[in-house]
């Protein structure tokens, strides 16, 4: 393993800002894994740290396939994580909306430029991503439909779903989009929450990343049979049915991500925070599987609280 600084920036009030990369093997630039780009992506950074730990052990055992290089970048935004801020602490900009970056631009543009310069030559790229809404997801692989997406390779993760979505104009500044445009087969992996670590989800995702590397013949590794493997369901994000809260209050859910629900089934209630009575009963509008579930105890009016993949 080679640990190196991919980008460094002096700070007036804090320690030097560094982005560290961990390289395994030598040869063809095969795979780059990018972890936390936002300050609340603790689970994403944790998963990368465990992948680094596992690759270090495999390297010591001689089980990395020769002729290939794997790069893991566990954190791109340590300053914001230290301050418990989701976006860049100084101006609240999102590094993942700055690609391919500009090395003479604003701070987050420079960070994006340095990161993209380090990862844009790899054949495969994985981003440990998070959703803009707080909640629980069924672990899945997500790809933007640029015309370069590779569904067959995405199935090698063995996760329950492969989610495709058509890009909006502002999506052209995402890492996933730019990776694809510049010739990398890019995959964003979602699952669990941001600010906490879900052991079961992490276990499944770490297993899926190792499986992906094993299927690509980058590592010699046999997964324990208890690691779940799925024949991934391919779906378009537009197929998801969004359920919103029509009232604000205390959110009490009866169903979580991965729960099977029937049309008309009670899946949550909204409770008056002062008087304790039920303001609203939330029922499922369709038969299906809950793909996303809001998890914060308070909910605002018209907040999306569930996304259901209908049967």
Give strand pairing partners of 33: 72, 126
Residue 266 has pLDDT above 70, yes or no: yes
How many of the other CB atoms lie within 10 Å of CB of 284?
23
pLDDT in tens, 177-235: 999 999 999 999 998 777 788 888 899 999 999 999 999 999 998 876 667 788 999 99
Q: What share of the chain is helix, strand, coil (3-state, %, to 5)?
A: 25, 35, 40
pLDDT in tens, 55-97: 999 999 999 999 999 999 999 999 999 888 999 988 999 999 9
How far, in Å, CA of 123 to CA of 182, rounded?
A: 10
Give strand pairing partners of 128: 189
CATH of domain 238-310: 2.40.50.100
Of the listed ranges 156-165, 191-200, 249-258, the least confidently predicted one is 191-200
How high is the pLDDT of residue 225? 63
Q: Which CATH class is domain 2-231?
A: alpha beta
pLDDT in tens, 90-118: 899 999 999 999 999 999 999 999 999 99
Cα angle at 120 between 174 and 74, to 5 degrees?
A: 75
How high is the pLDDT of residue 134? 78
**Residue ranges of the chain that CATH labels 3.40.630.10:** 2-231
Ramachandran class of 90: left when φ > 0, alpha when ψ lies in -120 to 50, beta otherwise: alpha
**Residue ranges of the chain that CATH labels 2.40.50.100:** 238-310
How high is the pLDDT of residue 226? 60
How far, in Å, CA of 186 to CA of 67, rounded?
A: 21
Sheet holding 249-253, edge to edge: 278-283, 266-271, 249-253, 298-299
Cα angle at 64 between 60 and 65, to 5 degrees?
A: 150
Phi, psi for residue 148 in degrees, rounded to 5 = -110, 5
Q: How many helices (H) and strands (E) does the chain have?
A: 6, 18
Q: Where are the beta strands (DSSP E) in 37-137?
A: 67-75, 124-128, 135-137
């Amino acid at each position: 393993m080679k640990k190196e600084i991919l980008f460094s920036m002096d700070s007036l009030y804090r320690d030097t800002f560094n982005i560290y990369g961990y390289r395994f093997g030598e040869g063809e630039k095969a795979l780059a894994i990018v972890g936390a780009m936002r300050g609340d992506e603790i689970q994403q950074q944790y998963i990368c740290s465990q992948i680094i730990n596992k690759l270090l052990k495999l390297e010591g055992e001689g089980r990395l396939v020769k002729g290939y290089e794997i790069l893991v970048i566990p954190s791109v935004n340590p300053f914001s994580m230290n301050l418990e801020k989701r976006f860049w602490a100084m101006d609240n900009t999102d590094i993942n909306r700055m690609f391919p970056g500009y090395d003479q631009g604003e701070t987050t543009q420079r960070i994006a430029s340095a990161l993209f310069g380090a990862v844009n030559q790899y054949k495969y790229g994985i981003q440990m991503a998070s959703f803009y809404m707080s909640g629980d997801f069924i672990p899945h692989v997500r790809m933007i439909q640029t015309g370069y997406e590779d569904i067959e390779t995405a199935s090698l993760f063995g996760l329950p779903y492969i989610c495709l979505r058509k890009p909006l104009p502002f999506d052209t500044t995402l890492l996933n989009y730019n990776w694809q445009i510049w010739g990398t087969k890019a995959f964003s992996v979602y699952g669990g929450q941001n600010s906490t670590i879900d052991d079961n989800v992490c276990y499944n995702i770490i297993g899926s990343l190792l499986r992906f590397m094993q299927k690509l013949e980058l590592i010699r590794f046999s997964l324990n049979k208890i690691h779940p493997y799925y024949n991934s369901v391919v779906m378009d994000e537009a197929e998801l049915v969004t359920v919103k809260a029509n009232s604000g209050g205390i959110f009490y859910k009866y169903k979580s991500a991965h729960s099977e629900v029937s049309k008309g089934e009670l899946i949550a209630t909204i409770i008056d925070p002062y008087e304790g009575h039920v303001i609203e009963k939330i029922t499922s509008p369709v038969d299906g599987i809950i793909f996303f579930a809001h998890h914060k105890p308070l909910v605002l009016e018209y907040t999306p609280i569930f996304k259901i993949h209908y049967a």
